[in-house]
Structure 1
Amino acid sequence: MGYESMLADIKSSLNGKISDVEDKIEKLKKAKKDIDTLQEEAITEIKDIVKPELGKHWTGTKADDFDKGREDAKSEASKIVNDKYNDYMASISGEILDLEFQKATYAGELVLANTAGDLLAKGEDYVEEAGKHISKLKWW
């Protein structure tokens, strides 16, 4: 296989990998936005857990137990919406960073491949130098 066809395969593969990574990044960013919206909605709904307030006619241990149950539910829902939300969002952000690093790595490899292609286009005097650039490609 000549350098030209090898470079064409490498470039095609790298462009495909970059496209796949970009798709994953966009999906994760959309998921973050959707989760933000859901969290805002949940915070609003959590406030409603303790509504309506018990009137003056609701007294005694049953009323106290009922109020305590609502407060416990509000507290637990708040933990989920706030604490677990933050952990989940941090996990998604970390994944996005990993994918952006992958994308940058692939883009760097593509620059090397393009440089090798440019050298090949200059003629036979540059084939050896182009071969050196091709050998630097990490994924091949």
Structure 2
Amino acid sequence: MGYESMLADIKSSLNGKISDVEDKIEKLKKAKKDIDTLQEEAITEIKEIVKPELGKHWTGTKADDFDKGREEAKSEASKIVNDKYNHYMTLIQMEIIQLESMKFLYDKELKLANFAGDTLAKGEEFLEDAVNQIKSIKLW
């Protein structure tokens, strides 16, 4: 296989990896936005759990138990919406950062491949430099 062909394979592979990572990042960003919207909706709905107020005619142990149950439901729902949602958002953001780091490395390697191609195009006297540049590309 000639060096031009090898570089074409490297570039193709790196472009594929970059595209794959970009797709994953976009899906995660959409998921993050969707979760954020769901969280906002849930917060609004949680406020409705304790409505309507029982009023002065609702008294006694049944009214107290009912109110206590609504408060417990509100408290549990708040824990889920605040703790679990935020945990998922953190995990998604960490994955996005990791993927962006991978994309940065792939972009860097693609630039090295392009540079090696430019060096190779300069002619026979630059062949050794081009070969060394090709060997320095690690992520394909």
Query: Which band: TM-score by shorter chain?
Result: over 0.9
Letter in 2 for 1:23: D
TM-score, reference length from structure 2: 0.98
CA distance in 1, matches of 2:125, 2:110: 22
Task: Tell me if 1:134 matches 2:103.
Answer: no
Q: Where do 4+ consecutive residues of structure 1 move more than 4 Å?
A: none
Q: Helix, strand or coil: the match of 1:68? A: helix
- Compute the RMSD of aligned alpha carbons: 0.7
Q: Which residue of 1 aligns with 2:95?
A: 95
SS, match of residue 50 in structure 1:
coil
Alignment deviations for residues 50-77 of structure 1 (CA, whole Å, 9 cap, x no partner) = 0011022211111100000000000000
Take 2:88 and 2:35, find their aligned partners in 1: how far apart are those partners?
A: 9
Q: Distance in 2 between matches of 1:73 and 1:44?
A: 14
Distance 1:58 1:130 in 2: 85
Look up the match of 1:125.
125
Aligned residues: 140
- The CA deviation at 1:83 is 1.1
Which structure 1 segments of 5+ residues have no match? Answer: none
Could you tell me which residue of structure 2 aligns to residue 48 of structure 1?
48
What amino acid sits opposite 1:89 in the alignment? M
Letter of the 2:99 partner, please give it: L
State yes or no: 1:106 paired with 2:109: no
1:91 Cα shift? 0.5
Matches within 5 A, 1:1-140: 1-140=1-140
How far, CA to CA, are the matches of 1:93 and 1:4 in structure 2? 39
